[in-house]
């Protein structure tokens, strides 16, 4: 596989768990550096067959995990997938190391059973001013 001009061979029994991470060149006044992380997940065969139901169940399981793992977790908004738009958009708030954080998470199909997850993270105080930059970066994202 080729990543950012680099190539690596995965031996049998290994899987591609690569991430694409971009970050601001400096932290915000809160001390948190805004960043965007893009990952890819293979969906379990235990999920429903219907693509929309499968995506919703996957996201619901992720939310359940976040509720128990993230301090002060709060779901801010959730936009479910439809037959015309096979993506889920989730915004959450939580506290990381004493800093209130906002994350905008988008789940989109990249194949029948593969989901690309983009997670944009910034401090709650600065998220709205940085969000247009996240949007611009995501609009340039392509899977090749």
pTM, two decimal places: 0.89
pLDDT 10s digits, 107-135: 999 888 899 999 999 999 999 999 999 99
* Domain boundaries along the sequence of the chain: 25-140
Q: What is the pLDDT at residue 113?
A: 87
Confidence of residue 6 (pLDDT cuts 50, 70, 90): confident
CB count within 10 Å of CB 82 equals 10
Q: DSSP code of 82?
A: -
Assign domain 25-140 to a CATH class: alpha beta
pLDDT 10s digits, 62-108: 999 999 999 999 999 999 999 999 999 999 999 999 999 999 999 99
pLDDT 10s digits, 14-68: 887 778 888 999 888 888 999 999 999 999 899 999 999 999 999 999 999 999 9
CA distance 144 to 136: 19
Q: What is the pLDDT at residue 4?
A: 67
CA distance 94 to 70: 6
7 vs 61, which has greater pLDDT? 61
The answer to whether 110 and 131 are in contact (CB under 8 A) is: no
């Amino acid at each position: 596989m080729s990543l950012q001009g680099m190539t690596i061979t995965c031996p049998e029994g290994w899987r591609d768990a690569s991430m694409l991470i971009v970050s601001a060149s400096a932290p915000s006044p809160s001390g948190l550096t805004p960043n965007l992380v893009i990952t890819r997940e293979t969906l379990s065969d235990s999920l429903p067959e219907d693509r929309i139901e499968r995506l919703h169940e996957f996201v619901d399981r992720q939310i359940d995990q976040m509720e128990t793992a993230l301090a002060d977790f709060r779901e801010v908004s959730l936009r479910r997938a439809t037959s015309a738009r096979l993506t889920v958009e989730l915004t959450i708030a939580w506290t990381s190391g004493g800093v209130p954080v906002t994350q905008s998470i988008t789940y989109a199909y990249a194949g029948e059973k593969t989901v690309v997850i983009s997670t944009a993270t910034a401090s709650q105080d600065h998220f709205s001013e940085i969000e247009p930059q996240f949007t611009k970066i995501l609009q340039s994202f392509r899977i090749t």
